[in-house]
Structures are given as structure tokens and as C-alpha cells.
A = this chain, B = another copy of it.
Amino acid sequence: MSKAAELAKLLDTLHHENLFRNDFYWTWEKTDDEIASVFAVADALRDLRERNKSTRVFDSGLGISIFRDNSTRTRFSFASACNLLGLEVQDLDEKVSQIAHGETVRETANMVSFMADVIGIRDDMFIGEGHKYQKTFMDAVAEGHRDGILEQRPTLVNLQCDVDHPTQCMADMLHVIHHFGGVENLKGKKVAMTWAYSPSYGKPLSVPQGVIGLFTRFGMDVTLAHPEGYDVMPEVEQVARDNCAKYGSSFHKCASMEEAFADADIVYPKSWAPFAAMEERTKLYTAGDKAGIDALEKRLLAQNAQHKDWACTEEMMKKTRDGKALYLHCLPADISGVSCESGEVDASVFDRYLVPLYKQASYKPYIIAAMIFLAQIKDPAAALRLLDQGRGVRKAF
């Protein structure tokens, strides 16, 4: 039996029916079965593709992408996922279009969705705004479908918002699962999700938030470490705390990278901006207070610079389990002496982990494709079996 067929069998045992025709905002809104289903389909699609099986379930249809921030990696991941399933990506570039915030979102959402099956949105820049934009957009298309305007209700893949980054964190987790040889081996593993210094300013909080919200569901011992003042959203910390009892995990906070790294099995050192400062920034942007924005940026860069010792150095890595923790990063990383004078990670550490880092990233297109597959295909297990046994090939001859 092929791997895809085995995964289809696994899928039979999981409740994933609520993923169908539904949106994917945050991992913590999804049940364990649903999370497991996304992993299963991602692995199955990868297996099918590796065996040159066609996974084209759409004959036509559009995947609309909206990037309210520049993006290469996520853009290509979304495009790859859509292409794998037969959807064509149509990008809504706001800089060249007539879209605007507020009232007009409803209109644009309908206007671009007449033949859209999937909507992928990245809106991570402003705390309090990203999720709201996605929600407004998807409410509008749901309404449009209910009112008979849209023949189909497109489903959302959250490509990063101000709260969660589910495609990234689930790709990270699938990588971790395979690295440690299965979910069953994750129990008790120590994860250090730590802040790290970067000379750049205002990096999103969605990765640390997404990680603590998701990794605490696997019986792991998760530490969130950051200098004072770099707190993430309290609601998401609560999610992590609530997971502990349910999943036999633990969740700690500390203000020391060393402490977090000590005996860690997995380290995820990454810069982010303080939540409170990002809230302030959103207000300044809303008010159009250019001087205030500049002052805030200066202040934050100065604040960052006080914590240059938060770096994933060789010495720091030595503190981890046998000095060999799995190093994670969502890329691109700020590499000391390479992309900046001093940054998140030593060049020698980064280089040593290049292959696992790229593998980590390689799961993202499949995670996105799996989210689309489960939201769009009524009986995904049956569909996987038919693709597995079918004569369709990806590359002929």
C-alpha cells in the first residue's frame, strides 16, 4: 500500500468534515483531528507528487492572493499549492488596483470572487488589523454566496495575520514531526521559542504566537523567552496556557535566552516587535502621524540594540540537548556578519542547519495545498485514493 493510501486510511478515522467549505484562520480554532488531517493530506499530496501522480482536482478555478506586505516565500508557496491542485493564481495587487480599506472591502471581495475557489491573504503589518481585514473579506464573500451573487463560497487560507501564521507554524510542526520520527516522540521535548536581536524593526508577532499556540498541543515543554517589554498578545499566551492541561504540555515564560536554550530539543530564535509598541504603531498609522511613527521606530531600534546578546551563537547552541537542538527559522534570518553586522544567528550555526531549514520551508506549499484540499473536496480520503490509483500523471512520458 502506498503512503498516500495509508494516509487516506488514517483520514478515514479523523473528523475533518468541518474543514469542508470553511476558512482557516488560527490553528487553535481547529480540533486535533482537523490539525492531524491537514498533516495527513499534506504528506499524501507530497507522496503523490513524488510518485508523479496528478493531483489536479480543479479543471479551472482561481486562487486569489492578497499580499498586504511584500513576500517571496509565501507567494511562491501559495502559487505552488494552487498550481498543484489546478487552480490559477490571480494576485490582487492593491498598489495597482482600486481597493481600499473599510467599506470597499466588501465590494472588492465580491468583485474578485466570481470564479474564485480559494482566497489567500497575508496581512501581518498592523496589530488589530490583519485578522479583521481577513474576517471582513470572508464575511463579504459568505454573504455574497448566500445572496446568490457568488456561485461558490471561496475558502480562506490565512497566509499570515497579526495573530497567527498557521501555514508557517504547521509547516514547522510537520517538519518537527518527521524529524523526530512521529508525533508520539514529541512528548516532553523541550522547545525554546525565543526572541533574538535584529537590526530591523517591527517584525510580526505571528510566528512566536503561532508556535506557542500550536506546539503546546503536542505534549511538549514550551518556553517563550524574550527581553522585558517584548511581550506577545496576552490572548495567545492564554491559548498556550490552556493547552497545557489538555495536552500534558507545559508553557513557561522567561527573560533569558540561556535559560530557554538549556537542554532544549528545538530552538526557534527569531526577532519580533513588542506587542504594545505595535499597538501604538497601528494607532499612529491610523492617525497618519508620520512624526510619531518615525519617533517610535527610532525608540524601538534603540530598544532592540540593548539586546544584541540575544543571538543564537555557537556558545548558545552548546547549551541545548547534546549541543544539537533542531534549529528552526521561518526565513529569511538576519545572519551575523552576512546579512547584517550582528543579528539573530551566527553564520556557522545557520550554515550547519541549512539543509533542515530548507526542508522545514519545503512543507509549506503542501500545508497550503492540504488546507485547500480539505476545504474544497467533500470526501478527501476517497479523492486521495482515486488520485493514488488513477492513471493521471503530473509529467507525461
Contacts and interface: CB of A to CB of B under 8 A. Distances in A.
Contact of A365 (B84, B115, B147, B376): B115
Contact of A378 (B77, B376, B393, B397): B397
Contacts of A151: 46, 49-50
A181 interface: no
Contact of A397 (B83, B359, B365, B383): B383
Nearest to A76: B112
A111 B378 contact: no
A60 B79 CA distance: 11
Interface string A330-371: 011001001100000000000000010011011011000000
This protein's copies in its complex: 3
- Interface of A: prevailing SS: mixed
B355 A149 contact: yes
Contacts of A188: none
A14 interface: no
Given A59-B395, A71-B98, A79-B90, 14 more contacts: A56-B60, A59-B396, A60-B84, A60-B394, A61-B83, A70-B96, A76-B111, A103-B335, A103-B338, A104-B332, A107-B331, A150-B362, A377-B396, A383-B397
28 contacts: A49-B151, A54-B59, A57-B396, A57-B397, A59-B393, A60-B84, A60-B85, A70-B98, A72-B99, A72-B108, A76-B112, A79-B90, A80-B90, A83-B90, A83-B115, A88-B88, A103-B339, A104-B332, A107-B331, A107-B358, A114-B361, A115-B365, A117-B395, A377-B397, A378-B397, A379-B397, A380-B397, A386-B396
